[in-house]
Chains A and B, each alone.
Chain A
Amino acid sequence: MMTAVSADRAPGLVRRVVSFFVEAPLVVLQVLTALTVTLPALRLVRPFVCNGGGRSWGSRLLRLGFAFGVSTVVTQIQLAITSLVMSAVVIGFYLALDSTARATFDLAKFFQSKEPSDLLVRGVIQTVVILLTVLLDRPFLDSFADLSDDFPTLRFVLQKRIGLTKAIIRVGTTMILMGLSLMPLSALLLALPAVNPGEAVLTDTVPTTRSRLRVLARRIGGLLTATAMLVVVIAFATELTTRLNLTGDTFYGTLSRKLLSEDLARRLPTTMVEQWPYVLLIVYVIDLLILLVIGKVPHSYMIRNMIVRWRITSLTALAFVVVLFMLTFMLSFVNGMTKLTEASGIPGNVMVLSEGSTDELFSNLGYGDVGNLERITATEDENDRPLPKPVSVKTIKKEGKTLFLGSRETYCVVNQVVPNSNKRRFVQLRIIVDADVSSAVHNLELMDKSHEWFTNIGVDSARRMQCVVGQGVAATLGADIGKKSLEPGDTFELADLTFVVTGVMKTEGTTFGSEVWCSNVNTITAALGKKSYTTFVVRVNDDSEASARVFAYHVRNRYQTQKLKAVPEKEYFADLNKNNQQTLYSIIVFAVVMAIGGIFGVMNTMFAAIAQRTKDIGILRLLGFKRWQVLVSFLLESMAMALLGGILGVALGYLCNGYSVTSIASGGQGGGKTVAAKLVVDRDVILIGILFTLVMGRLGGLVPALSAMRLKILDAIR
């Protein structure tokens, strides 16, 4: 897969790879690299230092200098080789996963690139090199323990260096354990012999054996049974989720598609990609049920302990309440915005804008530019193959006439002085040519029969502009006159004109809720200085998204009269959701940071619980409870605390459901629409909240539970 890499750049690349490790952007990695660089040098120096007894000081210093000189060269070579090997492995893996990167990959540029994905891969390479060097050098460093006392300073430095290595390894191990706690514990318990064949997990004692073959068999056996367990649980969860027939584009589905490569996402079961929170939640619930069933330590013991320490239990649970309330609140916003932009696009609609415009707001279509656009027919697809059925613009009958479903629109954002204040706000105005056509194209209806569309004349007898308004803007403008919402007959001022409302559109859950619609008459176009359309929206004859794509392609590439930009309406609104995706990423960062608070809170509580109940643990073990049973008991306790707070937090978050918020839907290239979205706490948000709670409980609970498990009976009861 490395064919895209230019061979003639190889010598330069070696230099680049090596210099990359010297010019690391992150100071911490730089320091760590510098530390690891000294290790191979020390290895070469060792014989000269340790076997130096009996020689003169001068001779030993000379030998020392010589050794350092040679070792510096060797160090550079070792670092270059390690870096190159690790770079090849990690980059190879990266390219194997990402088909897009594979197509355009340039190794020379990769080592200078500031692209986040490249930075991430480089960070991984560098960290792996450092960790590997530290891990491989630990036995060597340990061997310095018998250094002679001739060099007390060197001995002191080495001892500190060994201490640092051990600390890094301990932190790394703890973090790996924390990460592993996200796996089903039932599988983890089975896998423990693979890491430590002498560790008693499922049995109290493991017969010691000197046979390497048996040890290997234990390791492999542990690994295989754990894998089997994992596969069974995940397969069951995936199957169950598939049978739930969950549909619809969700914000979390978008997230997984972003994280996984396109190729991998296509090959995995759709449920695992689109509905992953459900799969994970079912996995965790099954795991929890297994633990509850197999846990032998009475659950009443766990509950009693929580009650006895009610203050700390409540404080910990309260931390979870706050974290989960916030998460639910934030996700409900993203969910509401996603649903809003999705509901706004109609699959069979195509939006035509002027060439080069990034948004409706910046589009400028001359009145003649879209003259005959509604009469064109696409007969070939995107690959110039004939279509089974031509795609054209849909028509409707009105008063005996045939009308094309092509809505000519001028979209403007108008600055309005807020009545009775010196503030201003922006009101979105859509000037349309024919209300019947536009309402049919956008599938919009009025609230009830007492409401009417404005006439084509567009002004009433008092020369006031007639308009219809979306529900969101009706509420905003209604508040100015002390009403919950504008009603037919109400008036408001905009662009130095008086507007009279003839109707309110049913726009619940669409971006049109924030818009005022009026007729394309000289009164308004002259006031705004608008002598062109911004948008032309057409409905294709079979209402399908596939035909909309074909028609958009046809207009973009084969329409000769004018260069135009045409996009299926669904795509346009999906693009508006980009801003929302950025909000989602911010929320993830925010949630992770908050989770650290919750996790450390539960960790503190559990470590304290273990410290207080050390004797209890000893007695439990004396009574015959096995080590893994103690582990399960403590883990269940932390998860119970997390669930208690988490469920309360989500319930509290549910109270936000339905609240209206103002925000911007934007594609990030300027423009965008001010929208009145609703906070939506639905099944998805609730389940993600519960899943997050379980993850936090597991992350915070496993390490203290392991420390409880590893207590020796005699030490515990002493």
Chain B
Amino acid sequence: MQGGFETAFYELGLYMAIGLLLLVVGAIILGIFTLPGFYLVLFGAQFLTRLAQATGVRAFNYLGLMFRNITRNLLRTSLTYVAIFVLVFVVTGIWTILNFIDSITKEQKNNLKAIITEKHQIPSQMPRSYENQIADIAFKLPPEMRPKNGTDDIMTWSFIGGSTDANNRSLKNTVFFFAMEPRKLLTMMDGLEDLSASEMAQLKWAVDEMEHNSKAVVIGEEKLELMEKRVGDRIKITCFNYPGLEFELDIIASFPKGSRYSQSAVMTREYFYRSVDDYERKTGKTEYSDRCLNLIWIRLPSTEAFETMATEVNTVGRFTPAVKMETASAAFGAFLDPYRDIFWGMRYVFSPMIIIIITLIIAIAVSIGVRERHTEMAVLKVLGFKPWQVLMLVLCEALLVGVISGGISTGLIYMGIKNAGGLPIKVAFFPKFMLSPVVLLWGPMIGAGASFVGSIIPAWTTHKIKAAAVFSRVT
């Protein structure tokens, strides 16, 4: 420290103050996001129950009693609700990832997709002549086993990494392209079902355009934002996995935000192959054309077709370097193998532990409630309530809080993440995870399950309350 007044500690203090401010802001936002919806549902349901009580059905009286008990100590109910809300949020996030991973690694029986890659090495690098050889094998299969849509069921991918500023490469100016035949975008890519009709129409237009202009590219909107580019811009990409290649590209369209490809980019295979040919003609080297094909996709009508073709492709000596054919799900499974322990932890440690925490929070709240309401339970018994009815009252109150909390939590998460275009957690090569509507069931189910387990013991204690014993203590 060189003389003068050192302000480091004051600055640290200010850092802390900002941290505190953020905490306050975060809590207020959490409260505003979560509590009004909860109260709306709670008081709304209570109001409807009150109206329904006019019908004279006893069950509604019983329900009304439950709502009154829940709203009696709003602070406790709110604390319990917010805790369940955030915990269900995390479980939903974890299950969304696991659900997606399970779905892509699950074998499909019909209409299955297979991947052909270099047998031994990662990254797979094959000569581009392999595409024709693979197509030959596919179309020599018995008619019922051949790809139904001819060559439209075969797609090749070449990965091209490049930067708009080769000297100062950063995440911002780096972009990875799939070089492929444009029309295969419509026939072979997964996840297009998420696009709306107008987005699909725009994609079709872009594909037509790419068929005519080989320099045309489509880049995901999020990637474009990161690169600070827009549709209509022309970019120059210096390739780093094929040193010496440069591409002049016209951005003609973008994959919409929220779609699976919002961070991806697609260029035409024609332009890439032409650039490779030009480079090899100039330099006299043939190194690129021998390794510029990374993946071949093929869609086959059945498992039998896949097995027959795989036997042909995997025959030793047929291809040099050797290739292997496997189902897309098996290939994803192999890629995700290094993450298996992490997924195992998420599935069998994190999720159950969080559900246990939810159960404990409910158990604490219900136990406190039961302890405070011993006299009230005794009065209920004196009024003629049977022990199982008192037990059910406590159990159902807990279930109501659990189901409403879980339901609102997953409902808001579903809407929020749907609008954000997926859960933005990067695992392996997946930048985002999409939610399926089945998520909406998870919250109420977790809430109901945790409430039941958490409240069964406190509820059972009410079952054993003896009115005489309670009143003998009342002074």
Of residues 308 to 338 in A, which have CB atoms within 8 Å of B's CB atoms?
309, 311-312, 315-316, 318-319, 322-323, 325-326, 329, 333
Q: Interface-forming stretch among B10-18, B206-214, B386-394?
A: B10-18
Question: Are A605 and B28 within 8 A (Cβ)?
Answer: no
Question: Are B225 and A114 within 8 A (Cβ)?
Answer: yes
Of residues 611 to 632 in A, which have CB atoms within 8 Å of B's CB atoms?
611-612
Question: Are A267 and B8 within 8 A (Cβ)?
Answer: yes
Alpha-carbon separation in the docked complex, A423 to B107 (Å): 13
Partner of A318, one of B125, B321, B330, B360: B360
Q: Note all chain B residues with C-beta closer than 8 A to A544.
A: none
Question: Are B241 and A423 within 8 A (Cβ)?
Answer: no
Question: Are B29 and A28 within 8 A (Cβ)?
Answer: yes
Q: Note all chain B residues with C-beta closer than 8 A to A529.
A: 118, 121, 125, 291, 321
Complex: chain B residue closest to A230, CB-CB: B13
Complex: chain A residue closest to B87, CB-CB: A597
Instruction: Quote the shortest CB–CB distance from B61 to chain A (angstroms).
Output: 28
A307 part of interface (Cβ distance < 8 Å): no
Question: Are B357 and A597 within 8 A (Cβ)?
Answer: yes
B122 part of interface (Cβ distance < 8 Å): yes
Partner of B122, one of A413, A600, A612: A413
Partner of A605, one of B33, B174, B349, B368: B368
Partner of B31, one of A123, A171, A272: A171
Q: Note all chain A residues with C-beta closer than 8 A to B316.
A: 496
Question: Are A414 and B28 within 8 A (Cβ)?
Answer: no
Complex: chain B residue closest to A590, CB-CB: B90
Q: Note all chain A residues with C-beta closer than 8 A to B361.
A: 319, 597, 600-601, 604
B22 part of interface (Cβ distance < 8 Å): yes
Partner of B243, one of A128, A179, A356: A356
Alpha-carbon separation in the docked complex, A459 to B273 (Å): 39
Of residues 344 to 397 in B, which have CB atoms within 8 Å of A's CB atoms?
345, 349-350, 353-354, 356-358, 360-361, 363-365, 367-368, 371-372
User: CB-CB contacts of B226-258 with A at 8 A, as 1s and 0s?
Assistant: 100000000000001101000000000000000
Q: Note all chain A residues with C-beta closer than 8 A to B9.
A: 268
Question: Are B121 and A413 within 8 A (Cβ)?
Answer: yes
Question: Are B28 and A175 within 8 A (Cβ)?
Answer: yes
Q: Interface-forming stretch among B138-146, B196-204, B297-305, B333-341?
A: B333-341
Complex: chain A residue closest to B337, CB-CB: A425
Alpha-carbon separation in the docked complex, A323 to B226 (Å): 37
Alpha-carbon separation in the docked complex, A152 to B108 (Å): 66
Alpha-carbon separation in the docked complex, A474 to B163 (Å): 40
Question: Are B243 and A663 within 8 A (Cβ)?
Answer: no
User: CB-CB contacts of A590-606 with B at 8 A, as 1s and 0s?
Assistant: 10011011101101110
Question: Are A670 and B161 within 8 A (Cβ)?
Answer: yes
Question: Are A586 and B371 within 8 A (Cβ)?
Answer: no
B80 part of interface (Cβ distance < 8 Å): yes
A217 part of interface (Cβ distance < 8 Å): no
Question: Are B365 and A260 within 8 A (Cβ)?
Answer: no
Question: Are A424 and B330 within 8 A (Cβ)?
Answer: yes
Partner of A175, one of B27, B33, B90: B27
Instruction: Quote the shortest CB–CB distance from B400 to chain A (angstroms).
Output: 17
Question: Are A415 and B122 within 8 A (Cβ)?
Answer: yes
Alpha-carbon separation in the docked complex, A460 to B243 (Å): 38
B463 part of interface (Cβ distance < 8 Å): no
User: CB-CB contacts of B61-79 with A at 8 A, as 1s and 0s?
Assistant: 0000000000000011001
Question: Are B357 and A323 within 8 A (Cβ)?
Answer: yes
Q: Note all chain A residues with C-beta closer than 8 A to B189.
A: none
Alpha-carbon separation in the docked complex, A246 to B23 (Å): 31
Instruction: Quote the shortest CB–CB distance from A240 to chain B (angstroms).
Output: 18
User: CB-CB contacts of A656-687 with B at 8 A, as 1s and 0s?
Assistant: 00000111100001100010000000000000
Question: Are B80 and A600 within 8 A (Cβ)?
Answer: yes
Q: Note all chain A residues with C-beta closer than 8 A to B367.
A: 311-312, 315
State whether A124 and B338 are in contact (beta carbons under 8 Å apart), knowing that A179-B20, A267-B1, A600-B80 are contacts in the complex.
no
Instruction: Quote the shortest CB–CB distance from B408 to chain A (angstroms).
Output: 16
Instruction: Quote the shortest CB–CB distance from A348 to chain B (angstroms).
Output: 27
Question: Are A423 and B334 within 8 A (Cβ)?
Answer: yes
Q: Note all chain A residues with C-beta closer than 8 A to B21.
A: 124, 127-128
Question: Are A593 and B321 within 8 A (Cβ)?
Answer: no
Question: Are B28 and A357 within 8 A (Cβ)?
Answer: no
State whether A260 and B334 are in contact (beta carbons under 8 Å apart), knowing that A424-B326, A604-B368, A608-B76 are contacts in the complex.
no
B120 part of interface (Cβ distance < 8 Å): yes
Complex: chain A residue closest to B368, CB-CB: A608
Question: Are B79 and A604 within 8 A (Cβ)?
Answer: yes
Question: Are A361 and B123 within 8 A (Cβ)?
Answer: yes
User: CB-CB contacts of B312-323 with A at 8 A, as 1s and 0s?
Assistant: 000010000110
Alpha-carbon separation in the docked complex, A427 to B367 (Å): 54
State whether A171 and B28 are in contact (beta carbons under 8 Å apart), knowing that A357-B240, A425-B334 are contacts in the complex.
yes
A62 part of interface (Cβ distance < 8 Å): no
Which has the most chain A C-beta neighbours within 10 Å: B121, B171, B341?
A: B121
Question: Are B364 and A123 within 8 A (Cβ)?
Answer: no
Which has the most chain B C-beta neighbours within 10 Å: A176, A322, A423, A530?
A: A322
Instruction: Quote the shortest CB–CB distance from A331 to chain B (angstroms).
Output: 13
A362 part of interface (Cβ distance < 8 Å): yes
Q: Note all chain B residues with C-beta closer than 8 A to A496.
A: 119-120, 316, 322
Question: Are A664 and B14 within 8 A (Cβ)?
Answer: no
Complex: chain A residue closest to B354, CB-CB: A594
Alpha-carbon separation in the docked complex, A710 to B298 (Å): 73
Of residues 33 to 91 in B, which have CB atoms within 8 Å of A's CB atoms?
33, 75-76, 79-80, 82-83, 86-87, 89-90
State whether A663 and B356 are in contact (beta carbons under 8 Å apart), knowing that A264-B8, A426-B334 are contacts in the complex.
no
Complex: chain B residue closest to A227, CB-CB: B13
Question: Are A414 and B121 within 8 A (Cβ)?
Answer: yes
Alpha-carbon separation in the docked complex, A661 to B342 (Å): 8
A41 part of interface (Cβ distance < 8 Å): no
B426 part of interface (Cβ distance < 8 Å): yes
B425 part of interface (Cβ distance < 8 Å): yes
B445 part of interface (Cβ distance < 8 Å): no
Of residues 94 to 120 in B, which have CB atoms within 8 Å of A's CB atoms?
117-120
Complex: chain A residue closest to B326, CB-CB: A424
B474 part of interface (Cβ distance < 8 Å): no
Instruction: Quote the shortest CB–CB distance from B127 to chain A (angstroms).
Output: 10
Complex: chain B residue closest to A32, CB-CB: B32
B136 part of interface (Cβ distance < 8 Å): no
Question: Are A596 and B371 within 8 A (Cβ)?
Answer: no
Alpha-carbon separation in the docked complex, A289 to B345 (Å): 38
B193 part of interface (Cβ distance < 8 Å): no
A302 part of interface (Cβ distance < 8 Å): no
Q: Note all chain A residues with C-beta closer than 8 A to B25.
A: 123-124, 127
Question: Are B357 and A528 within 8 A (Cβ)?
Answer: no
Partner of A597, one of B20, B28, B83: B83
Instruction: Quote the shortest CB–CB distance from A117 to chain B (angstroms).
Output: 12
A110 part of interface (Cβ distance < 8 Å): no
State whether A175 and B23 are in contact (beta carbons under 8 Å apart), knowing that A415-B121, A590-B90, A601-B361 are contacts in the complex.
yes
Instruction: Quote the shortest CB–CB distance from A194 to chain B (angstroms).
Output: 15
Q: Note all chain B residues with C-beta closer than 8 A to A114.
A: 225-226
Complex: chain B residue closest to A260, CB-CB: B15
State whether A415 and B324 are in contact (beta carbons under 8 Å apart), knowing that A124-B21, A175-B24 are contacts in the complex.
yes
A500 part of interface (Cβ distance < 8 Å): no
Alpha-carbon separation in the docked complex, A28 to B174 (Å): 34
Question: Are A319 and B241 within 8 A (Cβ)?
Answer: no
A-B pairs, top 5 by smallest CB distance, nearest first, are A356-B240, A413-B122, A600-B83, A608-B368, A179-B20
Q: A425-B334, A495-B120 are in contact. List 18 more A-B contacts (CB 8 A).
A: A28-B29, A97-B11, A168-B28, A315-B363, A316-B364, A319-B357, A319-B364, A322-B360, A325-B353, A356-B240, A358-B240, A414-B122, A423-B334, A424-B330, A530-B121, A582-B426, A600-B79, A604-B364
Q: List 28 A-B contacts (CB under 8 A).
A: A26-B29, A124-B18, A127-B21, A175-B24, A268-B12, A311-B367, A312-B364, A319-B360, A322-B360, A356-B241, A415-B117, A415-B122, A424-B337, A425-B334, A495-B119, A496-B120, A529-B321, A593-B89, A594-B87, A594-B357, A597-B87, A597-B357, A597-B360, A600-B82, A604-B76, A604-B365, A662-B338, A662-B340
